[in-house]
Structure 1
């Protein structure tokens, strides 16, 4: 099942995809462009933990001039304020020289995970969605510790369109990823090329911290980056999960 959260006539609704339309709990159905899309995540009673991987594809590490991929996960924490929904606008700061997309498979934790064994890891995944985790390279101080202005900016992490149930993605470690900028393909890859796969990551994180339902793991991006300018329409697409549309907006 594909689940969404949308605003229609000023009211927030949970919705599901049905025959290319959005079906609300009331039974009303709407076209995709008749609503405002939110990140497809249920509210949580606490601060949501968002863990984001850096350099988790060897080809991307090489693209950024690293001689080899990390030997253990390179991870940073993001605030929920960075998240926006499908078909929304990401602000590019004025005078920035290089800002690029990152198409990433996002894992949504389905139940409390603590000291999970690798063989059991998939039992703790509730679903998957698409993340576009923009990076602003002008502000990068250290490749191994990206600072807040690079990776934790308002509007800089579009998410969606849908949360796809884990059962509907039988092999998450073999999904094609693709990004287009104004219709031109600029990035392609496959999740099988992750340095650290999903079972490893869930075992690793849960060995020292508790993962709670609704928490997110953004699993990194393959190679292929391009500078994104105001007016550019970016589509980050993952096989079986969805195509996330985002537009770059300039700021004064």
Structure 2
């Protein structure tokens, strides 16, 4: 079963997908193409694993740690299917990262991996955008890199864990303007969904609606205003967003400023690069 949250006649409602329609609890119907989508869940927190897909590890020319490491995105970064992703002025290193979001279904604390599967309500498509212009100052916390407004679109819907199983080896692709840029499979994840849930729940109480982003395959790259980015996950659907230019620049009178260091460029362009004047595709 797939549910979606939409804005229907001014109210946020949960609707069930019925073919090409969405059906609200009171029976009202709206065509999917006409629906105004909201994030499919309202999480209290969004937790994200760093490296997890083997192709991404190989791309960076590194090795995985003995156990996963994590960062968080604030809920103010939430966005939805067909929502605009804002790249602020004076920033150019905005990268897509197609991912699968794990949605928690019940209070979860101190569980085994077997029990963790039962704690998962379902899954959604996600794009863990990163504003790498701030990587030099926020690399430890990833706060502005991954937590700036609009940088966490989820959707279009939530598919029940009873109807979708990542252990079946599900394909995940990211397309930019119709061209495939990322192409991976859940079979290449080092740590599966239940491991991530059980690991985090050792010390953090997970609540219904909380989201865990489970990692991205190789080939995350910068995008700019005008680009349309789609993340397709087999059995979960397609999350589509357009990149737009922010109307205001990052303030210069406070805080660290956007940078274009070797670390910023290396991360945005895929790891072990020789820089020789390479620049991100900038569209104004």
Q: Which residue of 1 aligns with 2:267?
A: none
Of 172-181 and 108-117, deviating more is: 172-181
Counterparts of 1:78 and 1:61, CA distance in 2:
22
Give the alignment partner of residue 218 of structure 2, picking from 202, 218, 223.
Answer: 223
Alpha-carbon distance change, 127 to 84 in structure 1, aligned in 2, over 3 angstroms: same
Q: Deviations over 1:124-181 (max 9, x none)?
A: 1001001101012221127962431101011011000000000001344611000100
Shift of 1:120: 2.0
2:106 matched residue in structure 1: 111
1:153 paired to 2:151: no
Q: 1:50 aligns with which of 46, 52, 58?
A: 46
2:2 paired with 1:2: yes
Is contact 1:173–1:197 with CA below 8 Å preserved after alignment? no
TM alignment of 1:147-186, pairs within 5 A: 147-172=142-167, 174-186=169-181
What is the Cα-based RMSD across aligned positions, in Å?
A: 1.7
Q: Structure 1: 5+ residue runs without aligned partners?
A: none
From the superposition, tell whether residues 116 and 173 of structure 1 become closer, same or farther in structure 2 (CA, over 3 Å): farther
1:35 deviates by: 2.4
Runs of 4+ in structure 1 over 6 Å off: none
The question of whether the paired residues in 1 share the 8 Å contact of 2:71 and 2:142 is answered with: no
Tell me if the contact between 2:138 and 2:144 (Cα under 8 Å) persists in the aligned partners. Answer: no
Pick one of 78, 81, 86 that aligns with 2:76: 81
Structure 2 length normalisation: TM-score?
A: 0.82
Which entry has the higher C-alpha Rg, 1 or 2? Answer: 2
* 1:57–1:69 contact (8 Å) kept in structure 2: no
Aligned residues: 247
Gap runs ≥5 in structure 2: 248-284
- The secondary structure found in structure 2 opposite 1:17 is strand
